[in-house]
Structure 1
Amino acid sequence: MKYLESFFIALFVFCLGLQLPANGQTIPKEKLIALTPQWEGERFEDGRPRVPDHILERMEHVTIEEAWGIIRREGYDNQFEGGEWKILHPDEPIVGRALTATYSPARPGVQAYIDRQGEKADRSGPPNTWPIDMLKEGDVYVADGYGKVKDGTLIGDRLGNTIYANSGNGVVLHGSSRDREGLAEIDGFNAFVRDWHPSYIREMMLIGLNSPTRVGSVTVIPGDVVLAKQDGVIFIPAHLAERVVSRSEVIRARDTFAHERVRSGTYTAGQMDTEWTQAIEEDFIQWVEKNADRLKEELGVSQITIDDMLEE
């Protein structure tokens, strides 16, 4: 019986990708690279795609609808998670690169195995601190706590301070958090959680770290770009991040032009909602030239996109 129990524990952990090598990864770097083959840019040491900071800065202006439409056309139908999110600061978006963690209801034999692997990897503190220790500047801590609220508080204000110190960013938790008032005092920190609860985390175990995870109806890959706004959270594959910001800036400019021209009576709504004529396209180019500074300052349209529109 003891042999069978050990066998099933090992099989369970292996299937979940919990082999922790010396560097503390849950899956080898080459496997993470294999999961993101379309990314051709820089990577972190752990294998995650490192979407450039300037793309993340532009992403803050992207709407959920713009991002959803663009990646859906690329075949990514399951990247948005709405529903009931409790947002620490509803008017502040979260944008960054996903570093993931997956939790499951505790089971003694498996928990003991995880603890031993943590010791071998020279990890300190309880397992719910391990992902936080791995955070880099610009990361978003994304955790699947299977929606647990009572006794499912993945962070409080102490861990929140550490998260912000390590990443300068916030969290998206398919679970709960405690210490809402304390977290609100961390300048620049934001959190999307399923609920708030005063309890402490208990009877949960970390079964995945920096590996694919699930947030509601979405499969999240480490290195995905997180865009969290009042409508919900969308997880953008790293190789599509630049396309999303570039295309959304064009959409934003064209929508603004259309709204202004309809309000002024220059064109009808029907003319704006169908394929534009050559005359309208030329009018749009002239409008972009005249409003370039406003597009950059008020709408977050990059100079690169403005130049591209003028060259078309």
Structure 2
Amino acid sequence: MLKKTMLAGMLACWALTCQAQSISPTPDQIKAYTSAWKGERLPDGRPKVPDAVLARLKNISMEEAWGVLRNKGYHNQFEGDWQLIHTDSTMTGRVVTAQYVPSRPDLQELVKETGKKEGRVQTGGTNSWPIDVLKEGDVYVADGYGKVADGTLIGDNLGNSIYAKSKRGVVFYGSVRDVEGLSEIKGFNAWMKGQDPSYIQQMMLVNINTPIRIGRAIVLPGDVVLAKKYGTIFIPAHLAEELVLTSEVTALRDEFGHLRLKEGKYTPGEIDTKWSEAIQKDFLNWVNNYPGKLPMTKKELDDYLKERNY
């Protein structure tokens, strides 16, 4: 318990030290957070997971994505029990994080002064600052510590700005206002813990693009989010492409297994355990004659299967 308390204190001191320096980490600091990523990066240092991977991710189920991450040792990437504006919507994108805390006058003054030195907009609230950094393909993810009344991070005006910049919606561990107006923004959606007619009061922004907590999940800037009505999964950038391919192959295996079970060709025990050589050959033949379009290239599939044990 003492070790946990000491660690929490160290992290708090580190956060305040970073805050005294800037609202956002430098590109090099973000690269340090995400050092496992070896691909292209955005100007702010966040990993730039390819658009093609984001598009394929939309077809991955929560369970498939969750299973891959758990097998990789990432146990704290899922959060559920959301309210959505549009319930049958799926969203993927590159995460921009924001951290909100209850207001404290001395810290709020420091934040505003730091933002002024950094050239951030001084009119209006600081809750517009994360929106100013959004690029197309970004998803604004904010820890509003679950505050609903007086914790509404955006209304329809900011919602329009968010969608204009990112062509995406938001994931808020907090709330929004003007849901009726937000619902009229074509293509926009919000994953939130509540909605309220009040405006934001007694809470403040402290950081942009630092690690944050979203319920049960830890989220880093540049993570990839998969958001569905069933929940949200935050995927480390360096695992995104592998997760998509692994999940796609799992879906193919499930489709094949369900088909053969319906046909009565194999027993549940044969499908649910390590496949025999005969089932492996049957699966490969089925894949080679797949009736639809495979979600991956044939080379991707062949290379993947060569390295896997059925």
Is the pair's TM-score, using the shorter chain for normalization, greater than 0.5? yes
2:88 to 91, 94, 103: 91
**Contact 2:162 2:168 (8 Å CA) reproduced:** yes
Q: 1:17 to 1:92 in 2, by over 3 A?
A: same
- Alignment-derived partner of residue 107 in structure 2: 110
SS at match of 1:100: strand
Equivalent residues in 2 for 1:1-312 (5 A)? 15=16, 17-19=18-20, 26-82=24-80, 84-124=81-121, 125=123, 126-291=125-290, 294-296=292-294, 300-308=295-303
Helix, strand or coil: the match of 1:164?
helix
SS where residue 61 of structure 1 aligns?
coil
Deviations 1:250-274 (A, max 9, x none): 0010100000111111112111111
Matched AA of 1:115:
K
CA distance in 1, matches of 2:15, 2:298: 48
State the shift of 1:306 in Å.
4.0
Query: Which whole-Å CA distance do the structure 2 matches of 1:270 and 1:162 have between them?
Result: 53
Distance between the aligned counterparts of 1:246 and 1:123, measured in 2?
A: 40
How big is each residue's C-alpha offset from its partner over 1:77-127, in whole Å with a ceiling of 9 and x where there is no partner? 111112x31011111111111100000000111111111111111111321
The amino acid of 2:95's aligned partner reads A
Asked whether the 8 Å contact 2:78–2:232 carries over to 1, the reply is yes
RMSD, matched Cα: 1.8
Which residue in the other structure is 1:8 paired with? none
Question: Secondary structure, in 3 states, of the residue corresponding to 2:292?
Answer: helix
Instruction: Give the aligned residue type for 1:81.
Output: E
Question: Structure 1's 309 and 48: CA in aligned 2 closer, same or farther, altered over 3 A?
Answer: closer
* Match of residue 7 from structure 2: none
| In structure 2, C-alpha distance between the alignment counterparts of 1:64 and 1:187, rounded to whole Å | 25
Aligned residues: percent identity? 51
Counterpart contact for 1:288–1:310, Cα < 8 Å: no
How many Å separate the matches in 2 of 1:187 and 1:71?
32
- 2:298 & 2:187 partners in 1: Cα distance? 27
Report if aligned partners of 1:88, 1:192 keep a CA contact under 8 Å in 2.
Answer: yes
How far 1:305 sits from its partner (Å)? 3.7
SS in 2 for 1:285: helix
Where do 5+ consecutive residues of structure 2 fail to align? 1-11
The equivalent residue for 1:3 is: none
CA distance in 2, matches of 1:63, 1:17: 37
Question: Contact 2:20 / 2:110 at 8 angstroms: preserved in 1?
Answer: no
- Separation in structure 2 between the aligned mates of residue 74 and residue 137 of structure 1, nearest angstrom: 29
Determine if contact 1:249/1:302 at 8 Å carries over to the other structure. Answer: no
How many pairs does the alignment contain? 294
Per-residue displacement from partner, 1:22-69 (whole Å, max 9, x unpaired)? Answer: xxx511221111111110001111111111111101100111111111
Change (3 A) 1:14 1:281: closer
Q: What SS is found at the alignment partner of 1:148?
A: coil
* Counterpart AA for 1:18: Q
> TM-score when scaled to structure 1?
0.89
